[in-house]
Amino acid sequence: MENRSVGTRQARDLLRVAFGPSVVALGIIAAVTLLQLLIANSDMTGAFGAIASMWLGVHQVPVSIGGRELGVMPLLPVLLMVWGTARTTAAASARASWFVIRWVVASALGGPLLIAALSLAVIHDASSVLTELQTPSAGRAFAGVLMVHAIGAAIGVLLTGKVQTVPWIPRWVSDALRAAGAGVLALLGLSGVVAVGSLVVHWGTMHDLFGITDSMFGQFSLALLSMLYIPNVIVGTAAVAVGSTAHVGLASFSSFVVLGGDIPAVPVLAAVPTPPLGPIWVALLIVAAVSAVALGQQCARRPLPLPTAAAKLVVAAGLAAAVMALLGYAGGGRLGNFGEVGVDQVTFGPAVFLWFFSIGGLTVAMAGGLARRPKPVTPVAVPEPEPEIAADDDAITDVVVLGDPIDAEVVESVESVEVVDEPPLDAPLLDPEEHFLTDGDPVEKPREQAD
C-alpha cells in the first residue's frame, strides 16, 4: 500500500508538471478570447484557431494575420509561463533523487510539446475557414515551446538546491548565480522606475493615445495591452541605460542620440523620449552602475583568493549578460509595417557584461571580497623516538626514599657491590641461633687474618 501511494503521488506530480501551466494558460486565453468575441457581437467561427494561435504566441511564436506578421510578442505572459513551469518543477523535485528529476524535466518538456502539436493542427484546420489566419512554421513553434519550458525547468531544478550536491561543481557557483540574479533584478527594477517616471513626464501623450477610441471596451483593451508590454519597455529602457540602443522601426533611442519616427498607438510607448535629447537621459548610466554594484556586493559576500574571485565575477557577469540578451531577443521582432522593434543585440549583451565586470570587480575589491591565498605549510620533520635501553641484569637500581639520610660512602660503594645469586630452593635452612654470640663465647677471627 505504501509503494502504491508513493507511485500515485509521483504520477500526479508528473501530470501537474506536464500540463499544469499550459492548461492554466489555455483557460485564461480562452476566457479572454471568448469575452472579446462576445463583446464584439461576433460569431464563434475560428475561436479555437484564435485560442491556439494566442497560446503559441505566449511562447514567442510569431502570429501571421492577413499577410502581416506580429513578431513582437509581450514578455509578461512568457515570464509567467516560465515562472509556472519553474514552480511546478521545483515542487516535484524537492525531495526526489536525480533519477526522478530526469523524469520531471522530461514531463515539463513533453506535455507542452504535445499541446503545441495539437495547436498547430487546430490552426491548420481553422485556416481553411479563416483565410486570413496562417499556420506558423512547425519548427519555429516547437523550438519556442521547448525553449520556454526548458528555461523554466532549469530554474526549477536550481531552486531546489540540488546542484550544490554535485561534486564536480565548485561551491562558489551558487554565489555567482545569486549575484547574477541580483544584478539582473536591480537593472530591471531601476529601469522600471525610470520608465514609470518617463510615463509621468509624458502623461499628455499617453492620454492622447488612450483617446483614439471612445468605447470603454476599447480603452480597456488598450490598458490591458499596455500592461502586457510593460516588460518589453523595461528591457528597452535597460538597453538605453547600459549604453546600447532601442529602436521602433526607424525611431532609435539611446543615452546620447534620439531619432524620431512613427510609433504604434500603444499608450505604454509614451515613455519613449522625444528629441531633442535632454541631459536627464545621460543619468540613465547611473542605473547601470548601481546594478553593477549590487552584483559586486553579492560576489563579495564570501571572500576568495584573486583567481577564484575573478572566475566567480566573470561567471556572474556573463550569466547576467546572457539573461538580458535573451530578454532583449524575446522582446523584439517584426511589427507589421513599422518594421523591426527591439534592442541592438550586437551591443546590448556586451555592454551589460562590461558594466557588471568593471564596476562589479571594483566593488568586490573595495568591499573586501578578496582574501589572501594561504601560505603553503612546510612539513616539519618529527624526530623519531629514542629506543628504550634495556635494563642490564647486573645493574642494581638503588631506591632512595625521601627523608632517609644518605650515606656518601654507601652511595660510592654501590657499584662495587657484587650480586650474590639466591640459594636454590632445595638448600637446607640455617639455624639462626647458630649466629648468636653470648658472653664468653670465643670469637673466630676472619679467615684473611688467620692466613
What's the mean pLDDT in 5-15?
Answer: 80
Percent of the chain with pLDDT over 70: 79
Look at 442 and 368; give whichever has higher pLDDT. 368
Tell me the per-residue pLDDT of 405-434, one tens digit each, with 9 for 90 and over.
544 454 444 444 444 455 555 545 555 555
Please tell me the predicted confidence (pLDDT) of residue 377.
60
* Residue scoring higher pLDDT (277 or 275): 275
Can you tell me the mean pLDDT for 287-304? 93
CA distance 184 to 187: 5
pLDDT of residue 428: 54
At 431 the three-state DSSP class reads coil
Neighbours of 128 (CB within 10 A): 10
Question: What is the pLDDT at residue 71?
Answer: 83
Residue 173, judged by CB atoms within 10 A of its CB (0-12, 13-18, 19+), counts as middle
- Whether residue 142 is predicted with pLDDT greater than 80 in this model: the reply is yes
How do residues 321-336 score in pLDDT, each as one tens digit?
A: 999 999 999 998 888 7
Nearest 10 degrees: CA dihedral of 59, 23, 163, 293? 50
Weakest-pLDDT range from 1-5, 247-251, 278-282, 311-315 = 1-5
Does position 117 have pLDDT exceeding 90, yes or no? yes
Torsion of CA 332, 334, 336, 341, to 10 degrees: 40
For the chain, the domains span 1-164, 170-374
Model confidence at 163, pLDDT cuts 50, 70, 90, reads confident
209-257 per-position pLDDT tens digit:
888 888 888 888 888 889 999 999 999 999 999 989 998 888 888 888 8
Residue ranges of E strands in 304-393: 333-334, 340-343
Q: What is the mean pLDDT of residues 19-26?
A: 93
Q: Which residue has the higher pLDDT, 443 or 228?
A: 228
Under the banding of pLDDT at 50, 70 and 90, the label for residue 140 is very high
* Distance (Å, whole) CA 199 – CA 206: 7
pLDDT mean over 90-115: 90
pLDDT at res. 437: 52
Mean pLDDT, all residues of the chain: 81
- Order of strands, edge to edge, in the sheet holding 340-343? 258-259, 251-253, 246-248, 340-343, 333-334
Question: What confidence tier does 151 reach under pLDDT thresholds 50, 70, 90?
Answer: very high
The reported pLDDT for the residue numbered 383 is: 66
Q: Could you tell me if 299 and 176 are in contact, meaning their C-beta atoms sit under 8 angstroms apart?
A: yes
pLDDT on residue 424: 54
